[in-house]
Structure 1
């Protein structure tokens, strides 16, 4: 077994094809999660245009590619999962039966520590160092949209009836409801980003689109298209007016939900929920197995999910001063955040305070 580290642009076409082939065949080996678009060469290449230090570790067995790990590396040897902070799935894409030693992997990559916060399941050598595990809800549509809707109705008949009734009411009040699964107008993407920024501010969260590199990355991914990977902008219209939109990433079998938002003027119609149902219907026709809603506590995810995956947070570290220093800075912050988010008696007051501060901030900007 040999491991080499490359800049994304230096990967050969054969290596990129082998990487994509591993993802395409993952479901046949019971490892569908490895087909997540955040683990694809397309996401790595796009991120490399916006962030320094992006590298790809390529492991070969018998001269043939056996595994690929995209990561970001600082000059001091601190490693992070690629796109840490915006990536919703991280880990090693590998052939069936491949095994590795996590710390030997770090040494070969020139890293003192490798940090992750959405590590895909089934990566035991990395999971052994995880500090926590978290549910990541999904919407299963591999048996078709009708089967999904039937399961949703069985789980929560009142929710399903109410959401479908709101869609009909939206059409009566504001014109025919129209859904575009793959909208190509960049002006609508800009509208979505404005809605999302306003939502972040309104709820007291950090505005991701205030970071220029994230905005550039999303726009770059919007223009990235291949059979195995693409950025997908899905939009719900009432008449000719967009009322909800979502930008996410698609592989051959998974649609990774990423940035959903809606116009608050239409909030009473729950356009975000209607949008997700329409997304599921269209994705099922395209052969998608499931929509990955991503880690995080959200009422709409609980309403739409059919099951949950598990993702992991933590780091693999060597006994090295750089690793000790990094963990001393990062571990307390992560521990405090996870404690607040996992305890309702802490989370609910903190959430209310953030929303109150968000309202103050929003009024100050008017």
Structure 2
């Protein structure tokens, strides 16, 4: 097995074609984050993107894009923007982690959105999570039937009731799955920034970062069958009441940054937005909407399945990630303790 480290600028047509072949070997790779276009866009905004190419007998069997944060640490390409992480590999590849880290010129690689079935990474996980999905196979009505059988039979009826109430009170509802409006995109970003600042603090507003805004702009401009940005909007009369920005790759849509106008919260515009996205996306041939990691109530209500994820780290020597795992579990115990709850209240009061 041979390793070759390249920059994103060295990614040529032959390697991109092989990347596509490797993606076709597993449905988990249908996710937009595993597209070479996503890596290229991230590399346009950040100069620390590297790609580890794994070869066996002269054939490329693995491609692993990442950020070289330092000579010690690396993370998956996209950093905290990446809802799916890890290498794109041939199904038969038995990747030796220590050798890979050496070739990446780092000692420590952390992950928090790694598919549990991808390689050996689950062996190094500290905790597990899920990325909930809407299975649109067979169209929206087939999804609705599955949802009724698995979850809340009245959910979509409630959404339809709120649609009628909104329309009657504020004007006709208009939904667009793929909007090209600069004004609507700016409103969505402004709304998300306000949400971040209100709920988690200004320091967690990711859109304050230049490279994040550049990535959003370039993804929005992308419009190819294997990778495209998607801006979806919901209007009541002349007022934008909800919007979403995400990505599509083939038949998979990733639900990324939803927002709704809080003045209309009484009528659940966010739930209407997701329902309309599902209905219209199914009409375009999309068979899955991935809601991303987390157990927020709206995800649990709409999901008909889930992809299993894990969080942890790999290192060389292995004791480095073992020590970090110990710190992680100690921190989780503190959070769950009465002291942790008290400290959390103090922090919220001080904010």
- Verify: 1:17 aligned to 2:17, yes or no: yes
Match of 2:61, SS? strand
2:95 to 96, 100, 108: 100
Q: 1:221-277 CA deviation, whole Å, 9 max, x = no partner?
A: 111221100111111111232111111111112111111101111111111111111
2 CA distance for matches of 1:115 and 1:16? 25
Normalized against structure 2, the TM-score is what?
0.90
Compute the displacement of 1:346 (Å): 9.5
Q: 1:265-308 CA deviation, whole Å, 9 max, x = no partner?
A: 11111111111111111221222221111111311111111112
Question: Post-superposition, which runs of at least 4 consecutive aligned residues in structure 1 deviate over 4 A?
Answer: 330-341, 343-354
2 CA distance for matches of 1:223 and 1:18? 24
- Verify: 1:176 aligned to 2:190, yes or no: no
1:135 to 130, 134, 145: 130
1 CA distance for matches of 2:244 and 2:41? 19
- Verify: 1:49 aligned to 2:47, yes or no: no
Gap regions ≥5 residues in structure 1: 362-366
2:255 to 239, 254, 257: 257
Compute the displacement of 1:77 (Å): 3.1
- Which residues in structure 2 correspond to 1:1-366 (within 5 Å)? 1-23=1-23, 25-26=24-25, 31-154=26-149, 155-205=151-201, 206-319=204-317, 324=320, 334-335=328-329
Normalized against structure 1, the TM-score is what?
0.87
Alignment check: 8 A CA contact 2:71 2:105 kept: no
1 CA distance for matches of 2:296 and 2:331? 16
* Root mean square deviation, CA, Å: 2.7
2 CA distance for matches of 1:17 and 1:306? 33
Compute the displacement of 1:340 (Å): 7.7
Compute the displacement of 1:327 (Å): 7.9
**Which stretch shows the higher mean deviation, 127-136 or 62-71?**
62-71
Q: 1:83-108 CA deviation, whole Å, 9 max, x = no partner?
A: 22111000111223222112221112
Q: 1:85-142 CA deviation, whole Å, 9 max, x = no partner?
A: 1110001112232221122211122221111110023223222111111121111112
Q: 1:21-76 CA deviation, whole Å, 9 max, x = no partner?
A: 332x23xxxx3111111111111111112223111111223333222111111342
Q: How many residues align?
A: 348
Q: 1:162-197 CA deviation, whole Å, 9 max, x = no partner?
A: 112101211111111111111112221110011111
Match of 1:142, SS? coil
Alignment check: 8 A CA contact 2:95 2:119 kept: no
1 CA distance for matches of 2:80 and 2:128? 17
Match of 1:124, SS? coil
Compute the displacement of 1:314 (Å): 0.9
Alignment check: 8 A CA contact 2:70 2:106 kept: no
Match of 1:157, SS? coil
Alignment check: 8 A CA contact 1:141 1:288 kept: yes
1 CA distance for matches of 2:339 and 2:160? 34
Distance 1:118 1:168, change over 3 A: same
Gap regions ≥5 residues in structure 2: none
Match of 1:284, SS? helix
